[in-house]
Every structure is written in structure tokens, then in C-alpha cells.
Amino acid sequence: MPAEPKPSALKESRKHGTFTFPCAFYRGDCTRYPADTPFVVKHHWHEEPEIIYCEQGAYQIEVNMQTRRVDRPCFCFVNGGELHHLLTCSPTYQEQAIVFSPDILRADSPDLAQEQFLEPLGAHRLALPDFLPEEHPAFPEVQEEFLKIRSAFYRENPNFPEQLTVRTAVSQLRVKASLLNLLASLGEHGLLAAAAPAHNPRIESLKKVLTYIQEHFQGKIYISDLAQLAGLNEQYFCRFFKKAIGKTPVAYINDCRIRHAAKLLGATDLPVTDVALECGFSNLGHFMSEFKKSTQLSPLQFRKQSGSALR
């Protein structure tokens, strides 16, 4: 049986923001990636809440195995610990996201805001709404504050790295003020509610399996080992995985390998054969076939087009 991932290893390893200001901004922009290549945010989770602004385009968004397709401007809120995934479904798209620790908003003063909103949010006792469509009366207020946050990050990151951070006191103060105003708008419209019980055995099993795949995709992965991790027989596990993720375990493993290959092709000069071996493909022809099926480009063509469309 494969070694079971430690609980701390089940979540995203990336640190959001800086040590002193754990808050980061990300963006998916169709102009930054190869044409006709979908923008993908892989299945992952983190302790911090996330606010996603789907400004333009169509998306498939999955949160805790619940999938929704959106094709109009909206906000999607992801609470800490929720497994989530995003895929673009249109050739043009503009998407931004902020991931923040509620600790940056807390104050020493035990006032009502701290007691009713900030403390429960940080302790996962208060939940953000799932979606906020543009026709909701709270949307203009939330949008206004989100755009102020975006401006603060853009000013300090003119070259747009993968993760945007803010390091000056003024920018951090502006981000905190807008986050507080954004939460106040949600609270005023009754959109903050007591969080549901966090433990869901199906989701926890899925987290274990996905983490195992992400940690071992460079080697041989057996479906029987994944089924054991999930506590299911192989046949039922494959059905469960396909229903939850939307693709078979083998397809998901190949997707992880291709995702890693795309990063290596964009960031290194490794020969294609070495990239294939590094990503768990022992057969170069199989790698070439799977890569082109996923990206519509050969590895060398992809390398010429300035990086991958993966976050």
C-alpha cells in the first residue's frame, strides 16, 4: 500500500504573499498564453479564503465536487479547506483572484466586527457565499472594492509575475481597507453565514488521492494503490474519481505529467526526451501524442510560444 500523505501535505504548498503580509493576487489573461490553450487552475486547496473575479469569458468552476458553469461576470468565493478547480471554456477570458489570510484583518480591539465577522472567518466558523452574480445588488460594491485591491497590486508589480504581492505600508493598508469594505458589503446583504461542518469523507479521500498523484506522477502509479488510499475497490474508485474530477484516473495522471512538462519546456532548455522522462513518460512517442492532444501543439512548438497556460 502506498504511504499515505501527511495531513499537512494534502494542501497546496505555495505560500501566498509574504511572511508579514500573507495576501497574494493572481490573474488569468488570454493574451498571456498560447492561443486556443485553455487556462487551467488545477484541483487544489489551501487554508486561506480566495475571491475569484470572472470578469470576462466562460468558465467551469468546481468547489468541493460541485460544478458550475459561468459565462457572465461574477465572483466566486472559496472558503479555506475547500477543494477547487477552474477551467476556461472560451477563447477570450479575464480572471483574477486574491488569496488572503484573515489574520491580516484582525485587530487587538475586541469590537463587534472582530467578534461577529473576522474571528469566525479566520476560525472557519463563518463562510463566504458560493457565487455572486452581476445582477445581485451587492455586486457593484464588491466589484468596486476588488478593483481597488487589483490596482494596489498592479502598481507594485508592473511586470506581472506569476504571483503579485504588495510590500509597502500604503499598499497594504489600501488592500486591508478594501477587503474590510468588501466583507462589510457581503455582511450587509446577509451573504455571510455559519460554515457547514468541514469534514466530508468523500472530499478528504479525494484530497489524499490527488495529493498522492501530484507527489508521485514522475514515477509509476498503480490504480490499485489509489483505490486503497480512498478505501474503495478499483472499479468503484474509478467511477467515483471520474464523477468527481470529470476524467479517469489515468487521464488525470497524464494531465499532471503534461502540466509539469509544459512548465519545464517554458522554463528550461532540457531536450524533449529528458522532459518526457522527468515527467514520468518512459515512451517518447506516447509523451508526444499526449502532449499534442492536451495542447494542440508539439513540445517544440509549445516551447516557442512563451510558456504554459497553467497556474
pLDDT of residue 107: 79
Q: pLDDT tens digits, residue range 110-144? A: 788 988 898 899 888 899 999 999 999 999 999 99
In contact, 53 and 146? CB cutoff 8 Å: yes
Q: Residue 254, SS3?
A: helix
Task: Name 67's bridge partners.
Answer: 62
Domains and CATH numbers, the chain: 7-194 (2.60.120.280), 201-304 (1.10.10.60)
Cell numbers linked to 117: 465577522
Cell numbers linked to 74: 461574477
In contact, 267 and 306? CB cutoff 8 Å: no
Question: At which residue does the C-alpha cell 509575475 appear?
Answer: 161
Q: pLDDT tens digits, residue range 261-276? A: 988 998 888 999 999 9
Q: Residue 155, SS3?
A: helix
pTM attached to this predicted model: 0.77
Residue 243's closest CA among 66, 3, 87?
A: 66
Cell numbers linked to 204: 478528504
Going residue by residue through the chain (311 aa), what tens digit of pLDDT does each one get? 454 443 333 455 567 888 889 999 999 988 887 777 788 888 888 889 999 999 999 999 999 888 999 999 999 999 988 999 999 999 999 999 999 999 999 877 778 898 889 889 988 889 999 999 999 999 999 999 999 999 999 999 998 888 999 999 999 999 999 999 999 999 999 999 887 765 678 888 888 899 899 889 999 999 999 999 999 999 999 999 988 888 899 999 998 999 899 889 988 889 999 999 999 998 999 999 999 988 888 999 888 875 444 44
DSSP 173-239: HHHHHHHHHHHHHHHHTT--EEPPPS--HHHHHHHHHHHHHHHHTTS---HHHHHHHHTS-HHHHHH
